[in-house]
């Protein structure tokens, strides 16, 4: 390219080469970006599918509506990335929003992209449910774990499980009303609860629920090992997954701030419509030892 540039500068019609050089430069930029991405997403399970759960905090309809806004944000992001989404369990709120949702995001590096979204997300806005138009603060917790492969050994004892069946809620016609096809599994030692009601077959719902349970147990055990290692090494760089990670302020000004990276974005509507890559990239770069 340097030689071609010299030729372009020395010849009368050298400008014709410049267009090809510009294409080559863009190609190199793309290759460098891909290399950086592979470095950023090089942890053990980054290539895996992701399991995302969203739980509203205290506050009833306000928080439930906020949880549904977050769900839409992640579904729109996944759609733009070309990832496949499967809703495993969805419990709608009485007035608006959702009480709980678990879904999988299937695609290469889905977990690597989304792992930094775990934590508490805070919303400040004028409530659409408040007749007096007062400002409300709502919270919702997002938890992301990798979907582990079948060859990963996780011991789950039958005696540690309580399995309940119930009638699925939501769309489904007569089948939903007549058949207890939905499955809820409680892992008694850890208190982890997994529900699945999206499939018509109780067997299939149980199979999916066990898959989610295995992944959540694996994630829990890995986090416990990391905590133990940090306590031994005195590492203080931990990201506290349960803490508030990002604030979305819609009133009195419009701003989204990530409290871990200090990144601020003013185009609130664009972010809530799924454009969260800027936050994902900033997180990966800050908490990756290569950068």
Q: pLDDT tens for residues 130-144?
A: 878 888 899 999 999
**pLDDT > 70? residue 289:** no
> Residue 278 CB: number of other CB atoms within 10 A?
16
pLDDT value at position 239? 35
pLDDT per residue over 202-214, tens digit each?
999 999 999 999 9
- Identify the residue with better confidence: 133 or 87: 87
- pLDDT value of residue 182: 92
Nearest alpha-carbon partner for 240 in 253, 254, 226, 250:
226
Mean pLDDT over each residue of the chain, to the nearest integer = 86
For residue 228, the model assigns a pLDDT of 74
Give yes or no for residue 178 having a pLDDT over 60.
Answer: no
| Distance (Å, whole) CA 179 – CA 173 | 11
| Residue 13 confidence (pLDDT) | 65
Question: Are 271 and 258 a contacting pair, CB within 8 Å?
Answer: no
Query: For residue 229, which of 217, 220, 238 has the smallest C-alpha distance?
Result: 238
Tell me the average pLDDT across 148-168.
87
Residue 174 has a pLDDT of: 40
pLDDT tens figures, 251-272: 999 999 999 999 999 999 999 9
Tell me which residue of 291, 259, 280 sits closest to 117, measured CA to CA: 280
Asked if the model's pLDDT at residue 236 lies above 90, the reply is no
Region of poorest pLDDT, from 142-156, 186-200, 236-250: 236-250
Q: What percent of the chain has pLDDT over 90?
A: 58
Distances (CA, A) of 104 to 26, 53, 163, 212, 222: 34, 9, 21, 9, 20
Given pLDDT bands bounded at 50, 70 and 90, which one contains residue 16? Answer: confident
Average pLDDT of 191-217? Answer: 91
Q: 18: helix, coil or strand?
A: helix
Of residues 123 and 93, the one with the higher pLDDT is 123
Query: Tokens at residue 286, please?
Result: 């800050």
How far, in Å, CA of 100 to CA of 36, rounded?
35
Residue 172: band (very low, low, confident or very high) from pLDDT cuts 50, 70, 90: very low
Paired tokens of 14? 């050298």
């Amino acid at each position: 390219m340097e030689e071609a540039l010299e030729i372009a500068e020395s010849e009368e019609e050298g400008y014709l080469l410049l267009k090809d050089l510009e294409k080559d430069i863009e190609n190199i930029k793309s290759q460098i970006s891909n290399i950086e991405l592979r470095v950023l997403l090089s942890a053990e399970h980054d290539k895996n599918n992701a399991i995302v759960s969203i739980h509203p905090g205290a506050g009833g309809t306000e928080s439930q509506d906020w949880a549904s806004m977050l769900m839409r944000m992640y579904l729109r992001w996944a759609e733009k990335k070309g990832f496949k989404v499967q809703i495993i369990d969805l419990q709608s709120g009485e007035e608006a929003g959702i009480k709980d949702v678990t879904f999988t995001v299937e695609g290469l590096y889905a977990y690597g992209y989304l792992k930094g979204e775990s934590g508490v997300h805070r919303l400040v806005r004028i409530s659409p449910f408040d007749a007096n138009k007062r400002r409300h603060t709502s919270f919702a917790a997002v938890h992301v774990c990798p979907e582990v492969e079948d060859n990963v050994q996780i011991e789950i004892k039958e005696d540690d499980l309580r399995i309940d069946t119930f009638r699925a809620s939501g769309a489904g016609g007569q089948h939903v009303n007549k058949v207890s096809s939905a499955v809820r599994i409680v892992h008694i030692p850890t208190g982890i609860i997994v529900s699945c009601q999206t499939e018509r077959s109780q067997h299939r719902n149980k199979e999916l629920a066990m898959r989610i349970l295995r992944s959540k147990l694996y994630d829990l055990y890995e986090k416990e090992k990391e905590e133990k290692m940090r306590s031994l090494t005195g590492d203080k760089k931990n990201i506290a997954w349960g803490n508030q990670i990002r604030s979305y302020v819609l009133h009195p000004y419009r701003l989204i701030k990530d409290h871990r990276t200090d990144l601020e974005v003013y185009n609130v509507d664009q972010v809530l419509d799924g454009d969260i890559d800027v936050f994902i990239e900033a997180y990966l770069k800050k908490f990756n030892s290569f950068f």
